[in-house]
């Protein structure tokens, strides 16, 4: 009888360790996925001052727009640092998403204004920076999708029975998705006949 009880206790311990290890592995996967977002967003943030400097020579009277881009970039950099410090902090992820959305809006306004400056559009440096920024934006989107997939897997694992009991006992909180809405993509096109 004692051996059976010892065997049951041993099986329960092995089971708990297995769940704990899967939760740790899943949490580490989403943190690693966030590290990839960090790399791409840092690259994006590093390109923006060069873009603004190039545009300054042509758009000297568009100072407000240029300053808005730099301010939005600085806010996004601060949001990224806070989120990178703890990717499991839901508030930090929400602030990062809002900051990146603001930066995308400011960049959109800059590119819209640049259409009025043919010399700027034709500037080789501006074209190269725009292409690098577009490529980086695509990489950010892919990295964000991988991160959100990892978060979804982690949250599903921690919310599934019986993992949810162990997740609570070992303080495995929910992870927050990173959803950056692009205002231009969300707008419904207006059709007039």
Architecture per CATH, 36-182: Up-down Bundle (1.20)
pLDDT of residue 182: 58
pLDDT of residue 55: 86
pLDDT of residue 17: 94
Answer whether 73's CB lies under 8 Å from 42's CB.
no
Is this structure's pTM higher than 0.85? no
In the chain, where are the structural domains located? 36-182
pLDDT of residue 143: 94
7: left (phi over 0), alpha (psi -120 to 50) or beta: alpha
Q: What is the pLDDT of residues 94-152, one digit of tens each?
A: 999 999 999 999 999 888 888 888 887 778 888 888 889 989 999 999 999 999 999 99
| Residue 38 or residue 179, greater confidence | 38
């Amino acid at each position: 009888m004692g051996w059976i009880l010892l065997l049951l206790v041993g099986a329960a311990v092995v089971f708990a360790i297995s769940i704990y290890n899967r939760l740790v592995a899943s949490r580490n996967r989403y943190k690693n996925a966030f590290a990839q977002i960090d790399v791409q967003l840092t690259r994006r943030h590093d390109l923006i001052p060069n873009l603004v400097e190039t545009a300054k020579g042509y758009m000297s009277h568009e100072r407000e727009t240029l300053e808005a881009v730099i301010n939005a970039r600085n806010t996004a950099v601060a949001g990224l640092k806070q989120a990178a410090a703890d990717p499991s902090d839901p508030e930090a992820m929400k602030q990062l998403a809002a900051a990146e959305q603001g930066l995308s809006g400011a960049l959109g306004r800059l590119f819209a204004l640049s259409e009025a400056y043919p010399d700027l559009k034709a500037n080789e440096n501006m074209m190269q920076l725009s292409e690098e920024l577009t490529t980086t934006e695509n990489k950010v989107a892919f990295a964000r999708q991988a991160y959100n997939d990892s978060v979804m897997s982690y949250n599903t694992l921690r919310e599934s029975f019986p993992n949810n009991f162990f997740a609570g006992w070992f303080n495995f909180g929910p992870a927050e998705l990173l959803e950056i809405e692009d205002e231009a993509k969300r707008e419904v096109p207006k059709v007039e006949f």
